[in-house]
A and B are shown apart, each in its own frame.
Chain A
Amino acid sequence: MHASQSVIRAERLTKTFGKVRALDGLDLDVAPGEVHGFLGPNGAGKTTTIRIVLGLMRASGGHVELFGGDPWRQAAMLHERLAYVAGDVALWPGLTGGQCLDVLGATHGGLDEARRATLIKRFDLDPSKRIRDYSKGNRQKVALIAALATDADLLVLDEPTSGLDPLMEQAFQEVVRERREEGCTVLLSSHILGEVEALADRVTIIRRGRTVTTGTLAELRRHTRTHVHAVTVDAPAGLADAPGVADYVSGRLDGHVDSRFTIDAEHLDDVVGMLHTARIHTLTVTPPSLDALFLRSYDGDIGPLDAAELGDPVDAHR
């Protein structure tokens, strides 16, 4: 396989269930070695996409490749190189956690024994209890350890941390980073922004079965704008017309001048200079977060986002 070839490539993917259109022209491209965040609200089509990528379901239209092969026709062969954690973790209630680990591991060609032992310790799992006696979080741990302890080239994780406590979430993030260091590719489906922000190199945001935007976090951030809230002693001269400034609102408050606006990253320095000249009383600069991106992407009936839309301040809509 060529080094630059995508691990997962889906183009104009559609899937209908009867009259329901679950996927409506979805694009997804996961490059080797990256952690790819797959974001979308509930019902956006994340799980359906993953099932098609795994060859569990057949796409109604469009094109999908997994490791350069057709997942529907070569499912079992292609699966040798991946491990999967389903969104709804379902395990055999009569088996113990340890037995489930081994059984799941066997379906993915076996577990790395040392890694298995370490992960059980790190995730604080009692492997001798039966699945039916586990809590939801512990079942989730079993599925996660089974996937993370394989030697897979690709980890497909569908909302992997639902049910985990913050401590375990931390452990999960560490392990995923380690696996990426070793060259593993990860598709991380989630609606938890913080998690994706902490792990992902690139992000694809989908809504109603369609890709809204995709890119590296830096790229996506570049299109977003920093929010500035400044209270100054004097009115900052020329700020409203300064390059890069938008959504400018200003007023007097307790004898000070209260200004709110957004600014793109490259002009931030100039603007702060202007504010300084006007003698800063308080200054709040809010950097663009994925939340802003995410919320904006789901706000109302908009089409695919462009840079201008991403630049709209979130607050203005709330």
Chain B
Amino acid sequence: MSVTGLRAMLGIQWRTHRRGTLIWMLALIAMLVGTAGSIAGLFPTPDKIHSYAQAATAGDALVVINGRVEGIDSLGGIIADEFGFLAAFLLPLLGISLVTLVTRSEEEAGRLEALLAGRVARHVPVLAGIVLASSAIFLTAIAFALGLIAVGVPATRSVLYAASLGTLAFVFAGLATLLAQVTLHSRGVYTWGLLILGVAYVLRGVGDVTKTWVTWLSPLGWAEKAAAFGDMRWWTLLIPLAVGGLLAALAVLVAGRRDLGSALVGGGASSPRATPWLRSPLGLATAIHRPAILAWLAGAVILAGTMGSLAQQFINAVLGNAAMAETFGLLGAQPVDGMVALTQLYIAIIATGYAVQAIGSLRGEETAGRLEMRLSGSLSRVRLLAAHGLVIAIGLVVIVVVASIVLAAGMAWSLGTAVDLGRILSAGAAYLPAELLVAGLALALFGLWPRAFPAIWAGLAGVTFIAFLGPGLKLPTWVLDLAPTTHVGNPPLGAVEGLPLVVLGAIAAVLGGAAAIGFRRRGLPQN
């Protein structure tokens, strides 16, 4: 197969996507190295490492979330365990997004057509995409390894762990190249990619808890079974390399044979009329935000259901293990409350992520030029903003409430007793002001400095990092205080005070007001 134009194509893809690619790589490297550095500082002695290992392996709940890390009784093992949850999502996402951005997105935008009219063979953009993504993943893995060696993890184990993460990203990059050929839109690539990732996560979780071969069905399991801090099975790296390579090769083959702009999965016909509801400002806003609401709701429900149904195991672990209780600050407290508090924090982050993405969709309406069309009618700017704000806020409440109910139901099933639904719901509700504050920040950016909107994603990453890993890594108080979730008070384990919630809510309201004023006064559209 010819590779005409491969060099030119690589140059173009790198030139047009280098910024996003570098940001992805640097963010991931910073997260892993930061986590590793903090853990090295927190667990300086074998004794401390040992007590952590005991705590983390005592219950199935944590095994589901972070995976079953072989050789957790070591510095590297703790790092792998702590980084397990983020790594399971971020590395596959890295692979998926790098590939999608340079393949289907470009084709959808019509830019690929111009390039293919030049001296570029039809399958070459796909080939270049996988080469570029693989190179970025390779460099990220090298940085991972160097970072781990720097904090004192043995060199060979560092390299194997970094390689296992890199090949994990590679499998999903290969998957995305194929999905980009069979679905018509980049949205489809993300949807199917994330769906498969979700299945992989569940399979790995089930396999790890039941200690069966099921783990081997999941790409996440392959990375885990490399056992960088245990038996060091180098050969497991061949599985993701082979699967990813095969998927990519298939994609290149398909790309060489199909028509430009076509796909195996096409779009069908649908209703030629809009209902009165869809024609109303609220109805259209609902249609715009519904995909995000459903996707994030699904994520929150899966998490809450999994955690809830493992409640009994979690409690057994805490009751039988003082070290674990201490690790989670549960000493002398109700283990049920600890479980709820942990889950509600995860739900809160999911809900916040949803809100940011939904406001991002509103910004997307502007950059796509649809807001201009919409505001050329008799709908005022403030009413439009209010309609979107209301729909986004309702979606937020729905996610929190439904996830809380699912958590309660799962716990009731697992524990075999009635649980206090009101207590679980109010813990979820206590996070609403914090979630709204981040949403308000996003909305204010949209209203006042729309071009700076992407900055909110960095803010969300910061809040997520602090909320998940901040207390565990014993970050300074002022850093913890930067995340609004810190001020909620870890309900129901900790006591929730009214004043901080009122302050959070008031700040959110002020930001919302500023957004409305800014949006009313600024020129449209700003691209």
Given A76-B379, A76-B380, A108-B377, A102:B525 Cβ within 8 A? no
Q: Contact flags (1/0) for B250-285 with A, using CB distance below 8 Å? A: 000000000000000011011111100011100010
Query: CA A90 – CA B367 in complex, angstroms?
Result: 10
Query: CA A58 – CA B377 in complex, angstroms?
Result: 17
User: From DSSP, what is the main secondary structure of chain B's interface residues?
Assistant: loop
The interface residues of chain A lying within 8 Å CB-to-CB of B270 are: 96, 99, 128-130
Pair A107/B271 contact, Cβ less than 8 Å? no
Asked if A294 is at the interface (CB within 8 A of a chain B CB), the reply is no
Query: CA A76 – CA B520 in complex, angstroms?
Result: 12
Q: Contact flags (1/0) for B179-194 with A, using CB distance below 8 Å? A: 0000011000000000
Closest A residue to B377 using CB positions: A107
Question: Is the interface on chain A under 10, 10 to 19, 20 to 34, or 35 or more residues?
Answer: 35 or more
Query: Which of B267, B272, B279 is close to A103, meaning CB atoms less than 8 Å apart?
Result: B279
Given A102-B273, A107-B379, A90:B279 Cβ within 8 A? no
Query: Which of A58, A84, A105 is close to B376, meaning CB atoms less than 8 Å apart?
Result: A84
Asked if B195 is at the interface (CB within 8 A of a chain A CB), the reply is no
Query: Which of B269, B278, B291, B375 is close to A75, meaning CB atoms less than 8 Å apart?
Result: B375
Query: CA A156 – CA B373 in complex, angstroms?
Result: 12
Query: Which of A75, A98, A104, A128 is close to B373, meaning CB atoms less than 8 Å apart?
Result: A104
Closest B residue to A74 using CB positions: B380
Q: What is the total number of residues of chain B having a CB less than 8 Å from a CB of chain A?
A: 34
Query: CA A106 – CA B387 in complex, angstroms?
Result: 15
Query: CA A54 – CA B280 in complex, angstroms?
Result: 21
A109 → B minimal CB distance (Å): 6
Asked if B481 is at the interface (CB within 8 A of a chain A CB), the reply is no
Query: CA A95 – CA B284 in complex, angstroms?
Result: 10
Query: CA A57 – CA B287 in complex, angstroms?
Result: 27
Asked if A25 is at the interface (CB within 8 A of a chain B CB), the reply is no
The interface residues of chain A lying within 8 Å CB-to-CB of B380 are: 75-76
Asked if A176 is at the interface (CB within 8 A of a chain B CB), the reply is no
Query: Which of A86, A102, A128, A132 is close to B279, meaning CB atoms less than 8 Å apart?
Result: A102
Asked if A51 is at the interface (CB within 8 A of a chain B CB), the reply is yes
Asked if B119 is at the interface (CB within 8 A of a chain A CB), the reply is no
Pair B278/A99 contact, Cβ less than 8 Å? yes
Query: Which of A56, A94, A130 is close to B375, meaning CB atoms less than 8 Å apart?
Result: A56
Asked if A80 is at the interface (CB within 8 A of a chain B CB), the reply is yes
The interface residues of chain B lying within 8 Å CB-to-CB of A133 are: 184, 266-267
Q: Name B residues whose Cβ lies closer than 8 Å to a Cβ of A.
A: 184-185, 266-267, 269-274, 278-280, 284, 287-288, 291, 368-370, 372-381, 383, 523-525
**Sampled A-B contacts (14; CB under 8 Å):** A56-B372, A56-B523, A57-B523, A80-B378, A86-B373, A86-B376, A92-B370, A94-B291, A95-B274, A96-B272, A101-B274, A107-B376, A129-B269, A133-B184
